[in-house]
Structure 1
Amino acid sequence: MKQVKQKTSMLLLMMMTIVLIVSGCSGNGNKNNAEATKEPAAATEKPAATEEEPPANELKPYQLSLVYPGTPQTDEKKIEEALNKILTEKINATIDLRPIDWGAWDDKINLMVASQEEVDIVFTAQWNGHAKYVAKGAFLDLGELLEQYGKGITDSLDPAFIEGAKINGKNYGVPTNKELAALGGIVYRKDVTDELGIDMTNVKTPQDLDAVYAVIKAKRPDLTPLYTTGGAFNSHFFANYDFLGDSTIPGAILKDLDGTKVAAVEEIDRYKEFLNLTRDYFKKGYINADAATTQVSSSDAWKAGTVFSTLEPLKPGKDAEVASAAGLSGKLAQISMSEKTVATSETAGSMLGVSFTSKDPARAMMLINLLHTDKEINNILNFGIEGDHFTRNGEIITATDNTANYNPGSAWMFGNQFLNYVWDTEDPEKWAKFKEFNQNAKVSPGLGFVFDSEPVKAEVGALANVIRQYQRALETGSVDVDKTLADYEKKLKDAGVEKVVAEKQKQFDAFLASK
């Protein structure tokens, strides 16, 4: 892994000349398998380490690529141009926004890592294989970069995010400053329930949705009662599974309880209960028939106007956020259905990592730092150009005729959400409520623990293939539960799931003993 180290000479202080040293794997103590095949990064002129970004005129021009999941936007180039004017002045950089459709994200990011494609900043998350990619050497250890170029991040971000996102004591991603707690539930079309006279006040559990969905299916056949592309009720945020660092690796505890026994979720009663409920809803036609295969994200389905409800990780104003992105402002509402919790999955639930293939990791960190500190840059990336994609009155923004051409709905991915403007359809006290929301959540016994998969990496690789074959079809209700689950569990055992769970339990026990 490349490490950025700086040396200054008193004799050359006025010239502010900097040398980048790219250390070899044997020389810096880091263990990225891919490092041996990487070419040294091109040197970039930078001043000595300071608490702020160096003057732009002391940096060579550089284009930064930002890779993240999301629907490409019509006015993307216009946004790049607006950002480039500011970034050139601040850090002498330009930006290449590279959104990848959600449906293709997993396959494309896997290929990007495997092919060692040169990129700079990549979205990563605990629930999206972060630990797995760290083990493959995909992301740089950010320790020195954070210290030299991330003061705005460390000053503004709750220390729980930084600590909770560490793997073996090191940060490989910078968490987004957003909600710290997790709460599962649904977002639904309130205008439709009002129209049909459906009373939603009695809906407290997933089972209570049966009667609601039956009415929607009968009276609004143009709407899919429950649109999903993944785990439905067994989504980690809904069922409160704590996978102890990476939800793509088997072995979990229930984070809303106090138990510390690690088990494959397929053996947990809650998992089986939700599988059967999801299968029942699928057979009744409540769930989209293509749930196991579709690449149409829920946000795009909302925009198409064909959805009654989706399962969501909730927070204050989640319904208004979804509505704004979908052009349904004022028409949605939300209902929570789980206990509010905090686990590593939240502290590391949305991060930006610096790729080991980046030619200028320091510049990448400068941009991430700006996303945490610069209100103008943050809001252009998230909402577009004032006077074009929105109008503004103080902190409140209003949609325009051109909002649809840049409305990515991805503010939870980038930097510091507390810098975000608030749509006029949202609660003006949104950010104060976020801070309140982050308090008094049930803390998972596994908070701060991240599983090191290195001792069982062969089994983890084999299990990934089995999971890819069975999990999505099973958890969307698309296949028979009894037969498919039995086959799935057998294949998991054959691939080494028991060995992985035992290793996770061993490491977790050591973590608990050290507290």
Structure 2
Amino acid sequence: MKKRILSLTSLMLSAVLLFTGCGSAKEDAGTASAGEGTKTESQASDTSADTASDADTKLRDGKMTELRVVFPGGTSSPADLEAVEAGINEIVSQYMDATVKLDILEWGVFSDQQKLMLSSGEDIALMFTFDSSKNYAATNQVRDITDLCGLYAQDALDGLGIYAEACQINGKYYGLPTFHEYTKTSGLVCRTDILEELNIDPSSVKTWDDLEAVLAKVKEAHPEMNVLSPVEVGSGILDYYNEGKFDVLTDGIGVRMDGDGTEVLNMYDTPEFMELAKLAYDWNKKGYFMADATTVTDTRQDLLAAGNTFGYIGQIHPGTATQELKNSGVPVTTIPVGEKALTTGNVNFAQYMVPTGCSTPEKAVKLLDIMLTNKDMANLLMYGVEGSDYVIKDEAAGVVGYPDGVDSSNVGWNNETWLAGNGALAYAWESDSADIWKQYEEFNASAVTSPLYGFTFDTTNVKTEITAITNVIKKYKAVICAGYSEPEEAVAQMVSELQASGIDRIVEEAKTQIDAWKGNQ
């Protein structure tokens, strides 16, 4: 089957623009207003001059607006939070009259608190989402920022290139993506010390069968240990087993990556999901899964840090090992065995949006532009305060690490790349290769591109059905992926209840929209 592949040249150009950014705050101070740049005489019309002047007036209005930024994290009150905010405010002051308040919600409460904040219309400048902006746009909980991006975030749009386009909904922006892995693969993330103890060579593990042999060896050597934990609180164990095989349009609905995008599927009624269910059931019977996988409230990092867990099956990308080391304090090795896919959803799932309740959307969009283009901002959001949270280890190579006496257990600031705006502008961490951001670029460019790249499914017409099938998926998915239920029976029950809840109606709606979208390509 012929696959639609994005031009490697286009991908690389987008990545180069992303990595180059717009320099440090000091370098940017003379051109603080986004979208102004250098204009020729012919371009500097009265209209554009008025627009630029109006834009600057909105930013320099004499009011020190507090811009609240909400995102998830491991702790709501890191020790150096105020110091990081002070550093951010020093940068922001060079662009506009505003201060920034970072509102970090712990992972366990983030989703519920996010929904409450958006539905109640709180005055929030930027809200992070790991579920794309489409549902929030459909319910008018976030703003259309298309025109504002042209005035206040053109540098960010230019740098993001085709990746920004993945965030468009009917040609409009409701958020912009953070820098992260724009493709995904799956596999085993596990303790390095156990691999070394058992003389397991991770480079020899190429398939799921190879991976099972590793699990069996660990189980035999450490019967007291949880071999695999859930990747997320409330999930099963093998949730990411089919990563890269489908372009997921909304939970439960997708198209195969090796198709032409015209066959829309209930993904839970496919041979691939049945294969997952059978493998999960088999592995659970063999004792590879922790006993209370779907109800445990500890995060995977907590479980790794406690010393009684070997690893988990999750998404893998360049930098995963360092991310987990910083979060748990445990050195881990990544063993990818899944497939890689570049899809709209893989790009646009992680965004910062401007909520409808924001009273100063112009300043909010400008702040987003700074987060995506400013090197000093990137280092602050990624690593915290230089000298206390990190020190430069190799100036020429751009490598940083913990100061003496500091590690993941006592550092005053910790963040993840996909939450930090544009981490690719920041230094490399000492446990990563100095060229880690180049590795991201190559990783993103190496994926097969979905036949529906650029398409976003509008669920407005099937809201009721989406709600109904979501409840069914919550009822069955984690239990099946944790291997608790007999596969044939559980999957059949799940499919039956999905059909009764209207999943076929969602499939038909997706087909209609895809046909229209393809007709306009």
Change (3 A) 1:304 1:366: farther
Q: Which has the higher strand share?
A: 2
Moved more, 502-511 or 282-291: 282-291
SS in 2 for 1:252: strand
Shift of 1:144: 1.2
SS in 1 for 2:202: coil
Alpha-carbon distance between aligned partners in 1 of 2:69 and 2:223, rounded to the nearest angstrom: 40
1:84-483 map, 5 Å: 84-125=89-130, 128=131, 130-157=133-160, 159-221=161-223, 223-228=225-230, 229=232, 230=235, 232-235=237-240, 238-244=243-249, 247-248=250-251, 250-258=252-260, 260-328=262-330, 331-392=331-392, 393-394=394-395, 395-400=398-403, 401-404=405-408, 405-483=411-489
Alpha-carbon distance between aligned partners in 1 of 2:162 and 2:424, rounded to the nearest angstrom: 16
Q: 1:484 is matched with which residue: 490, 497, 500?
A: 490
Moved more, 63-72 or 282-291: 282-291
Alpha-carbon distance between aligned partners in 1 of 2:506 and 2:301, rounded to the nearest angstrom: 35
Change (3 A) 1:420 1:224: farther
Report if the CA contact (8 A) 1:227-1:310 is conserved: yes
Report if the CA contact (8 A) 2:179-2:417 is conserved: no
Shift of 1:360: 1.2
Change (3 A) 1:468 1:509: same
Change (3 A) 1:326 1:222: farther
Alpha-carbon distance between aligned partners in 1 of 2:172 and 2:496, rounded to the nearest angstrom: 36
Shift of 1:344: 0.5
* Counterpart residue identity of residue 487, structure 1: Q
Report Cα offsets for 1:8-34 as digits up to 9, x if no partner. xxxxxxxxxxxxxxxxxxxxxxxxxxx
Higher RCO (Cα < 8 Å, 6 or more apart): 2
Unmatched tracts of structure 2, length 5 or more = 1-49
SS in 2 for 1:426: coil
Alpha-carbon distance between aligned partners in 2 of 1:107 and 1:478, rounded to the nearest angstrom: 27
Shift of 1:121: 1.0
Alpha-carbon distance between aligned partners in 2 of 1:49 and 1:202, rounded to the nearest angstrom: 58
Change (3 A) 1:107 1:55: closer
Moved more, 96-105 or 295-304: 295-304
* Counterpart residue identity of residue 124, structure 1: T
Report if the CA contact (8 A) 1:382-1:411 is conserved: yes
Alpha-carbon distance between aligned partners in 1 of 2:101 and 2:281, rounded to the nearest angstrom: 42
Calculate percent identity across the aligned residue pairs. Answer: 29
Alpha-carbon distance between aligned partners in 2 of 1:226 and 1:209, rounded to the nearest angstrom: 12
Change (3 A) 1:456 1:389: same
Corresponding residue of 1:42: none
Corresponding residue of 1:74: 78
Report Cα offsets for 1:184-210 as digits up to 9, x if no partner. 222222221111222434322223322
Report if the CA contact (8 A) 2:175-2:353 is conserved: yes
Report if the CA contact (8 A) 1:187-1:332 is conserved: yes
SS in 1 for 2:206: coil
Corresponding residue of 2:24: none
* Counterpart residue identity of residue 78, structure 2: T
Moved more, 84-93 or 459-468: 84-93
Alpha-carbon distance between aligned partners in 2 of 1:432 and 1:51, rounded to the nearest angstrom: 39
Corresponding residue of 1:26: none
Alpha-carbon distance between aligned partners in 2 of 1:277 and 1:429, rounded to the nearest angstrom: 37
SS in 1 for 2:69: strand
Alpha-carbon distance between aligned partners in 2 of 1:449 and 1:386, rounded to the nearest angstrom: 41
Moved more, 85-94 or 351-360: 85-94
Alpha-carbon distance between aligned partners in 2 of 1:82 and 1:223, rounded to the nearest angstrom: 43
Shift of 1:99: 2.2
Corresponding residue of 1:29: none
* Counterpart residue identity of residue 443, structure 1: T
Report if the CA contact (8 A) 2:69-2:126 is conserved: yes
Alpha-carbon distance between aligned partners in 1 of 2:262 and 2:256, rounded to the nearest angstrom: 8
Report if the CA contact (8 A) 2:344-2:454 is conserved: yes
Alpha-carbon distance between aligned partners in 2 of 1:423 and 1:431, rounded to the nearest angstrom: 11
Shift of 1:386: 0.4
Shift of 1:239: 4.8
Alpha-carbon distance between aligned partners in 1 of 2:356 and 2:241, rounded to the nearest angstrom: 29
SS in 2 for 1:213: helix
Report if the CA contact (8 A) 1:182-1:237 is conserved: no
Alpha-carbon distance between aligned partners in 2 of 1:137 and 1:52, rounded to the nearest angstrom: 24
Aligned residues: 461
Report if the CA contact (8 A) 1:182-1:314 is conserved: yes
Report if the CA contact (8 A) 1:256-1:341 is conserved: no
TM-score, length of structure 1 as denominator length = 0.82
Alpha-carbon distance between aligned partners in 2 of 1:388 and 1:271, rounded to the nearest angstrom: 48
SS in 2 for 1:310: strand
Corresponding residue of 1:28: none
Shift of 1:448: 0.8
